[in-house]
Amino acid sequence: MNTALVVAEAVYGYLGNSTALMADAGHNLSDVFGLLVAWAASIASKRAPSGRFTYGLRGSSILAALANAVFLLVATGAISWESVQRFRDPEPVAGVTVMVVATIGIFVNGATALLFARGRKGDINIQGAFLHMAGDAAVSAGVVISAALILWTGWLWLDPAMSLIICAVILWSTWGLLRSSVGMSLSA
């Protein structure tokens, strides 16, 4: 579901000229990759200890959380760059298309977050996946709101402005995960 959402957001974001929807697609792409990393780490962490890995591969879940945080920071940098460029050269946005696709994103990301909700308290890897998906649902809601406001007011600057707000939300939500995963990977 999440991969199909990324493709839909990227295609319709491009066709609809929306950096906010493209930002959401980029963020969701990093999360799809993050989910794959989290899944692989979850499987690896169940591996029994060996002579070489005396604790097994339980630490892979910490590394997956760290990788997820780094991927989000890279995606945020790319989104911010494109948003600043769009402020200089605003373009019309297909508001209705953006609203429909972002609404689908709310449901897909919300459903995925619910899959991780129960296990988020006991595993930093699961917590990272939950935060990403819940954040994506909120970001999609912001995209819907900005597209509606663009339709209502005609203010094209709202699209890149919402993209920068999305970046701020991503940074805020990622900071704790990054700090915790770095600390745990350094055995703090």
Assign residue 122 the CATH number of its domain: 1.20.1510.10
User: Domain of 136?
Assistant: 2-185
* pLDDT digit string, tens, across residues 34-61: 778 778 877 887 777 887 877 777 777 7
Domains in the chain: how many in total? 1
* pLDDT digit string, tens, across residues 139-166: 889 889 989 999 999 998 998 898 888 8
Q: In which residue are the tokens 């373009």 written? A: 91
Task: Report d(CA 125, CA 185) in Å as an integer.
Answer: 12
106 falls in which pLDDT band (50, 70, 90)? Answer: very high
Q: What three-state secondary structure class fits 158?
A: helix
- Name the residue with higher pLDDT: 119 or 152: 152
Task: Report d(CA 30, CA 35) in Å as an integer.
Answer: 9
Dihedral sign (CA 56, 57, 62, 63): positive
Task: Report d(CA 17, CA 112) in Å as an integer.
Answer: 27
pLDDT of res. 12: 87
Buried b (16+ CB within 10 A) or exposed e, 102-129: bebbbebbbebbeebeeebeebbbbbbb
DSSP state of 90: -
Share of the chain above pLDDT 90, in %: 10
Q: Is the pLDDT of residue 127 over 90?
A: no
